[in-house]
Structure 1
Amino acid sequence: MTDEAMKTSQIEGELLNRDSVQSSLRREFGLETEQRRIPPAERGIAEMMMALYRGFADPLTEEILSDWHRMVLSGRNDVEVVGRYREHEDAMQVVSGPLHKPNVHFEAPPSHIMSQEMGRFLDWFAATGPGGKAPLPGLTRSGLAHLYFVSIHPFEDGNGRIGRAISEKALSQAIGQPSLIALSQTIQRKRSAYYDALEAANKANEVTDWLAYFAQTVLDAQSQSLTLIDFLLEKTRFHDRFRGRFNPRQEKVVTRMFREGPSGFTGGLSAANYITITDTSRATATRDLQELVALGAMGQTGTLRSTRYHLILEPADRREGQVSR
């Protein structure tokens, strides 16, 4: 959930503090006892993620969307209308290029018909859900809901984040439980493809290509989620095997390497990396790394300046080959 909260904001160019987001989510789950101050943006996105998680089965209403909008824009002073549909008379456009000759990628319906358009959208979402008058397959409904909502663009800002939340709500309702897939993380990895697909769909009445893109993105997100689960299980087994066997420097480096997730530490860990992370001498770094290799916690590749170290996430006798990051 932390990764999804981070990435759905990052797609829109907003960078959040991971520790603050995680602390806020822990507090929402009742797991955080430390009363640290959490910035509004991080607290708001965490609140929206929890509202989505807890209320996935609830009907989507204007009140819920307004609450989500207030959460997403928590702490923002540059948006005039928060928690309500946009009201400005100017056209809502996505543009690029010079001011004197802008390239208009998208223009949303005018503000004065937002209530009418959103009423239709909410009726459609209710009718196409499980048990509705015209139910759609979960994947189709999720993809169409995202495109439909973003095409209306009902709020001054935050439409992308709320649109992705609506997609996850549709998927969750289809499977009868919170989906918790890495949708925003997957979109963020190929952000330009996401915007290209949206732009193409908004310029035509044919949405097949968009649905094909969206379906593949959801499948990729599911695969990434399964990879992450495997990684977390391997991480747990790793800590179980080596609990109490690392010195503080080694523990710090291992923690830093695990922070990179399933993709691992880019290019492997070098002695220079170890020195930088621990602020220790080369001799101490070399000794620590040799101990980690001897323990079976790390594998070593290359020689001399090209020597790199990787975490061994399962013992060699657990399965064929060496699993390392």
Structure 2
Amino acid sequence: MTWNWTQEAWPRFSYDAAALEHFENRFLLVSGEVIGAVRHVSDDERDLLRIELLSEEAVKTSQIEGEMLDRLSVQSSLRRQFGLDADSRPVRPQERGIAEMMVGVYDTWAIPLNHQTLFHWHNMLMAGNRHIGTIGGYRAHDDAMQIVSGRHDKPIIHFEAPPSRQVPEEMTAYVEWFNKSSPGGALPLPPLTRAGIGHLYFESIHPFEDGNGRIGRALAEKSLAQNIGQPSLIALAYTIERDRKAYYDQLERHQRTLDITDWLVYFAETILKAQQTTIKRIAFYIEKAKFHDRFRGQFNERQEKVVARIFREGPTGFKGGLSAENYISITRTSRATATRDLHDLVQKGALTRTGERRHTRYALNLPAIKKTE
């Protein structure tokens, strides 16, 4: 099989810059909208918003790799990292590690990339991992680094990365390219083009024994932040996870060629979708703060618990809407009490109601969110 790194021109990728021009312009325009939206949030609320967005990305970037984390534990760890009050919730090493890495990416976005930064991220990401040989360093094993699926006796090889002995040289070239292609570098590239090449380039080297996908997506975040001049807080992993099959299909296809126009178009479209998700999440968070201000002290303990649970579902809320059965399950109360509580929430204007009888569903009354949908 001919992989991209075995081809004579590697790592000189080719692409049609004109095909990306519209996406690049759109990205810069929407970046201004995101920055403007964040400015509508107070400093204290901005800290909480940052934790909400970073925790979602931490959970989703891990989920893409099949690792399920507890979002509240990640948030607790993020609070500690940012010096904010945190609860005593137990946090597993992998949740603490991904939180530390996300904060590291956020805080050091402007600093040029180097090997030590990558090693530091890997150290944090692999906290508590006892199954790999090298943590905080590039892989050094003799076995081929392959992405495989299927049965053990008939594996399907999706990609084979360069042998470990080549990785230090490959990564030296990568780090040099990353810094040269930055806005202040010798050969600056437009934001989406740079992020797309950087992600595919890194994933094709696959320099670590584990964690390459998560670090590769963090590098895309760092790249975008450098191009817009501040942390992007973009919902990239969230967007990729929603259709990760397409993500892996595109990676597999373009790790066999150096002509990557289609990959860059795919990645650009993904980033633009991620921007829209970020804007909706910021709007949702602003509405959440307004909602709590409007109804402070008006709910009983059961109602508070249910409202908090709905907010945890994010902008989309409960799939299909909140039902009386959901309310009973969350509060462990009787049907009569649930009916009374829900009626009260609708009367107060906290919830909206649709449907009748067993098809009755409830949703948070967030007018500004409905306008953006």
CA displacement, residues 198-235 of structure 1 (integer Å, 9 cap, x when unaligned):
00110112111110010001000000000001111111
Which residue of structure 2 aligns with residue 227 of structure 1? Answer: 280
Which residue of structure 1 aligns with residue 321 of structure 2? Answer: 268
Alpha-carbon distance in structure 1 between the residues aligned to 2:238 and 2:112:
26
Alpha-carbon distance in structure 2 between the residues aligned to 1:107 and 1:101:
16
Which residue of structure 1 aligns with residue 148 of structure 2? Answer: 95
Which residue of structure 1 aligns with residue 139 of structure 2? Answer: 86
Which residue of structure 1 aligns with residue 49 of structure 2? Answer: none
User: Which deviates further from its counterpart, 34-43 or 228-237?
Assistant: 34-43
Which residue of structure 2 aligns with residue 43 of structure 1? Answer: 96
- Out of 298, 316, 320, the position equivalent to 2:351 is 298
Cα distance change of structure 1 residues 131 and 323 upon mapping to structure 2, 3 Å threshold: closer
Alpha-carbon distance in structure 1 between the residues aligned to 2:58 and 2:282:
17
**For structure 1, which runs of at least 5 residues remain unmatched after alignment?**
none
Q: Is the 8 A contact 1:312 1:323 kept in 2?
A: no
Task: Give, as a single letter, the amino acid of the residue that structure 1 aligns with 2:190.
Answer: P
Q: Tell me if 1:133 matches 2:186.
A: yes
- Out of 197, 204, 224, the position equivalent to 1:144 is 197
Q: Is the 8 A contact 1:41 1:73 kept in 2?
A: yes
Q: Is the 8 A contact 1:313 1:323 kept in 2?
A: no
Alpha-carbon distance in structure 2 between the residues aligned to 1:36 and 1:243:
25
Which residue of structure 1 aligns with residue 289 of structure 2? Answer: 236
Alpha-carbon distance in structure 2 between the residues aligned to 1:132 and 1:113:
25
- Out of 178, 181, 184, the position equivalent to 2:237 is 184
1:101 Cα deviation from its structure 2 partner: 2.2
Bigger relative contact order (CA 8 A; separation at least 6): 2
SS at match of 2:315: helix
Alpha-carbon distance in structure 2 between the residues aligned to 1:103 and 1:288:
55
SS at match of 2:172: helix
1:254 Cα deviation from its structure 2 partner: 0.8
SS at match of 1:103: strand
**For structure 2, which runs of at least 5 residues remain unmatched after alignment?**
1-53
Cα distance change of structure 1 residues 34 and 296 upon mapping to structure 2, 3 Å threshold: closer
Alpha-carbon distance in structure 2 between the residues aligned to 1:50 and 1:311:
31
Which residue of structure 1 aligns with residue 308 of structure 2? Answer: 255
Relative to the length of structure 1, the TM-score reads: 0.95
Alpha-carbon distance in structure 1 between the residues aligned to 2:334 and 2:371:
29
Q: Is the 8 A contact 1:60 1:125 kept in 2?
A: yes
1:37 Cα deviation from its structure 2 partner: 4.5
Which residue of structure 1 aligns with residue 120 of structure 2? Answer: 67
Task: Give, as a single letter, the amino acid of the residue that structure 2 aligns with 1:126.
Answer: N
Alpha-carbon distance in structure 2 between the residues aligned to 1:60 and 1:85:
15
CA displacement, residues 239-281 of structure 1 (integer Å, 9 cap, x when unaligned):
1111111111011111111111111111111111111110001
Q: Tell me if 1:32 matches 2:85.
A: yes
Question: How many aligned positions are there?
Answer: 320
Q: Is the 8 A contact 1:85 1:154 kept in 2?
A: yes
Q: Is the 8 A contact 2:170 2:205 kept in 1?
A: yes
- Out of 211, 218, 243, the position equivalent to 1:165 is 218
Which residue of structure 2 aligns with residue 215 of structure 1? Answer: 268
Which residue of structure 2 aligns with residue 286 of structure 1? Answer: 339
Cα distance change of structure 1 residues 235 and 35 upon mapping to structure 2, 3 Å threshold: closer
Cα distance change of structure 1 residues 221 and 102 upon mapping to structure 2, 3 Å threshold: same
Task: Give, as a single letter, the amino acid of the residue that structure 2 aligns with 1:127.
Answer: K
Cα distance change of structure 1 residues 322 and 155 upon mapping to structure 2, 3 Å threshold: closer
Runs of 4+ in structure 1 off by over 6 angstroms are 321-325
1:300 Cα deviation from its structure 2 partner: 1.2
Percent identity of paired positions between Structure 1 and Structure 2: 59
Task: Give, as a single letter, the amino acid of the residue that structure 1 aligns with 2:155.
Answer: P
Alpha-carbon distance in structure 2 between the residues aligned to 1:259 and 1:203:
41
Relative to the length of structure 2, the TM-score reads: 0.83
Alpha-carbon distance in structure 1 between the residues aligned to 2:370 and 2:239:
27
Which residue of structure 1 aligns with residue 63 of structure 2? Answer: 10
1:32 Cα deviation from its structure 2 partner: 2.5
1:99 Cα deviation from its structure 2 partner: 2.2
Q: Is the 8 A contact 2:76 2:86 kept in 1?
A: no
Alpha-carbon distance in structure 2 between the residues aligned to 1:33 and 1:100:
48
Alpha-carbon distance in structure 2 between the residues aligned to 1:6 and 1:69:
17
1:313 Cα deviation from its structure 2 partner: 1.2
Which residue of structure 1 aligns with residue 28 of structure 2? Answer: none
SS at match of 2:61: helix
SS at match of 1:106: strand
